[in-house]
Amino acid sequence: MLSSTLKSALLTIALIAAYAQSIVAAECTREGLLSAAYSYLAAQSTGQLSALKLSSTNFTYQQNNKVSDIAKGLLSQSYKIDLNRSTADTVACASYTMWISSTGSKPYVVGTQIRHHDNDTSEITMIDTIAATTGDLFFNAKKTLDYIKAEDWTTIMPASSRPSRDVLKAAGDAYLDMWTDAKAADRIPWGTDCERVEGSMYTKPCGGSLPRGGSKKANGMRRYVIDEEAGSVDVLCQFDSLGNMPDSHEIRIVAGKVKYVHTITVGRVG
């Protein structure tokens, strides 16, 4: 029989251990998210999957909205990356990375969300990729590269001027709702000097010629990465309003107004 003193000492040790573990696991950090995103870029530029710390118990690879074998997907090939940019969502413990490869026989413009479970950025539980190439909607990687290279994505300062998580999510949702809701466009704070790059199609100001409803099918399968420091929201989705297309929509809000919109769409309308 254990003495009650020993029992309570053991209980204390167990509680301290549980507490210590909760401190270690509790925080999803920006540094951890970006470091995982850079490991993804390194793996992609070399075609070496071994560079990635994938969870051995809970890992899903999705390419163009279909769960598939990572060893047969985009990461199995190396691509020369001309431009990359990543954002981080410490609440969802997920990151968004876009990269462009404009040279070579198979050019790509790619948007990838990487997810981690239990705030543990040392392991990846999901790589969720939208990859557009030759033949997809408005695809021209060289043009897209030139437009996006010229953009300013510096961290929004001061911190008090950053758009909130709610504002960013609402802007992402309202944007995707424009095809089904005639009033959705009015809920978006368009900037007068805003630029929209859809595939390689450029529109400025981006608040011109907008859809005003008309489709009965809402754009579905929405997955979000929201980064207040960058003032950005990326939504991966299925563009059902125009016909089942795997899609990424990214919006950056600066000084309370939409500054950039990027879309990556796989397939063609109609």
Ligand X SMILES: *[C@@H]1O[C@H](CO)[C@@H](O)[C@H](O)[C@H]1NC(C)=O
Residues near ligand X (CB under 6 A) are 26-28, 41-42, 45, 58, 81, 84, 90-91, 93, 115, 117-119, 125-126
User: Closer to ligand X at the Cβ: 80 or 216?
Assistant: 80
Comparing C-alpha atoms, which of 169, 171, 202 is closest to residue 186? 171
User: Closer to ligand X at the Cβ: 119 or 133?
Assistant: 119
What is the distance between the alpha carbons of residues 64 and 62, in angstroms, rounded to a whole number? Answer: 7
- Residue whose entry in the numeric block shows the structure tokens 């390194």: 42
Comparing C-alpha atoms, which of 101, 92, 127, 123 is closest to residue 113? 127
Q: Find the shortest distance in angstroms from Cβ 47 to ligand X.
A: 12
Q: Find the shortest distance in angstroms from Cβ 146 to ligand X.
A: 16
Both tokens of residue 214? 């008309």
Bridging pattern class, strands 257-265 and 190-198: parallel
Q: Find the shortest distance in angstroms from Cβ 58 to ligand X.
A: 4
- Contact criterion met (CB below 8 Å) for 137 and 114: no
User: Closer to ligand X at the Cβ: 41 or 210?
Assistant: 41
Q: Find the shortest distance in angstroms from Cβ 179 to ligand X.
A: 28
What count of residues does the chain have? 270
